[in-house]
Structure 1
Amino acid sequence: MNFPIQFELFGQLYHWHYIFELLAFFIGVRLYYFLKKGIADPISDENRLWIMLGAMLGALIGSRVIAVLEDPLALSNLSFDVLYQSKTIVGGLLGGLFGVELIKKVIGVNTASGDIYVIPIIVALFIGRIGCFSMGIDEPVYGVPTSFFMGMDLGDGIKRHPVALYEMIYMLLLLLLFYSIRKKQMLNGDRFKLFMVLYFLYRFLIEFIKPYHPLFLNLSSIHWSALFIFLYYYKFINRILKKRFL
């Protein structure tokens, strides 16, 4: 397999990455509406639209901010084009979280709203990572050189950790987990909190096998984003751990 994986159209080569990005968004949204049909949503359709708008705007900003902080040395050469082209899922989820909480305060919604988005987000992440994997080292979702049996030549002649592939596998595991607990009685909002904690835990750990740039205390912006999420959800984490071990 040669990276990046491209397809030819009218004599020109194109990356699959953009196709899978569009598919991830389209399928994620369609899956959300499909799942929404089977539940009695305590939040009105109008408020759901406002919440989704807050999530999208927050994700748009957050994905860019955290992405540019991944390389602090490049901040001196920051431009609008660089800011627009830079994006990371971690920042998108973090910014989306803030966008949702802000818009909910504005429209007066106090009900947890994230559970219904968990499965669509997982599926969208899986599809999107197919595109990232197809880019090889042309997309910064690859690992350091390794002799691990899953190491792959992603386009530079060096066997590296295929981080995008690892995340696809992790998304499948999360999908199985949330399917297995679909009938389990949980507090409203706990499924989304569980997803956020588990996803950011993965991103915190996997960052150590990526060629990252330290932001502060030898930790990257991804590390600090994950630590923030752990702090933000510390009550939930503490409650779940007590219930599990006591």
Structure 2
Amino acid sequence: MTVVPTLPGIHLAFDLLGWLAGAGLGAALYRWRLRPLVERTARAVGPGYVLALVTGAVTGAWLSGSLNTLLSTSPSLSHSVLGALAGAVVGVEVYKLARGVRGSTGGVFTGSLALGIAIGRLGCLFQGLSDRTYGTPTRLPWGIDLGDHIVRHPVQVYEALAMLGFVAVYVAALARRAPWALRRSFYVLCIWYGAQRFAWEFLKPYPTLAGPFNLFHLICLGLIVYGGVMYGRDVRQERRGGAPFQEGGAVSVPRPDHEPV
């Protein structure tokens, strides 16, 4: 058992660190491999794209987090990074549908988002019990004590390690110029994040909605289905020779011959 030192309010510092680290990684990946992808994305989307993304993320974060806590014995307003991701997906996909844009536009955020989530989860850990993201009791030797003398699953660490592992695999795939990393990485991120988070939700004391599943289980399933469907659709489009982005049936955007997509 490990006793974890906690400090109320420390989560904000980790959130800021996560944003800075994610931005730094994003800038490095842009200079290294993602410049063509970022430029194609910028040409495909309009000025309303960011507004749709932010609106969806904020709405999804607070709606899902608050609904989950309002179902508990001590209801309160809250927010969730899972809900933010799902809300951003909905907001962006509605925006793309309205503008006639097809293809993934989230690949420019993949590395930054994954790293930011990993660091943010450590903030949840050191925030302690007040963060309400702690795990259920366990007898495993790596259990943690957050100050209430109950040994719990370190679910925050599980998720942080899972997302750091994703970052490592993603960067290695970019080094090989793997098509999925250059073209469909956001869909893979949705599948991976949804799958690993689905597993950890069984180790949290959240109220259930359907059998053993809580609200976040259902959101995770939605992300997995979304990522899988969109990944398969993009693979079929790639095999037909489709461009990464198409808007209103426009001609394919030219790209350097040496840059696989």
8 Å CA contact 2:18, 2:119 repeated in 1: yes
Q: Which residue of 2 aligns with 1:60?
A: 58
- 1:70 corresponds to: 68
Change (3 A) 1:138 1:155: same
Structure 1 residues 202-217: aligned runs within 5 Å: 202-217=196-211
TM-score (norm 2): 0.76
How many pairs does the alignment contain? 227
Distance in 1 (CA, whole Å) between partners of 2:229 and 2:103 is 17
Structure 1 stretches of 4+ with a deviation exceeding 4 A read 1-4, 236-240
User: Match for residue 25 of structure 1?
Assistant: 19
On the 8 A contact 2:65/2:80 being kept in 1, the answer is: yes
- Per-residue CA deviations over 1:34-64 (Å, capped at 9, x if unaligned) read 4334411212269375333322211100011
1:235 maps to what in 2? 229
* Mapping for residues 1-246 of structure 1, pairs under 5 Å: 5-6=6-7, 15-38=9-32, 39-40=35-36, 41-44=39-42, 47=45, 50-71=48-69, 73=71, 82-83=76-77, 86-182=78-174, 183-186=177-180, 189-235=183-229
CA shift for structure 1 position 96: 0.7
Distance 2:68 2:229 in 1: 28
CA distance in 2, matches of 1:199, 1:169: 12
Cα distance in 1 for partners of 2:181, 2:146 equals 43
CA distance in 2, matches of 1:20, 1:124: 9
Cα distance 1:35–1:49, how it changes in 2: closer, same or farther (>3 A)? Answer: farther
Q: CA-to-partner distance for each residue in 1:103-159, whole Å, 9 max, x for gaps?
A: 223444323211121100111112211211111222122111101121011111011
**Structure 2 CA distance, aligned partners of 1:112 and 1:74?**
37
Q: Specify the alignment match of 2:252 in structure 1.
A: none
Q: Tell me the CA shift for residue 69 of structure 1.
A: 2.5
Structure 1 vs Structure 2: percent identity of aligned residues? 28
Q: Distance in 1 between matches of 2:44 and 2:104?
A: 16
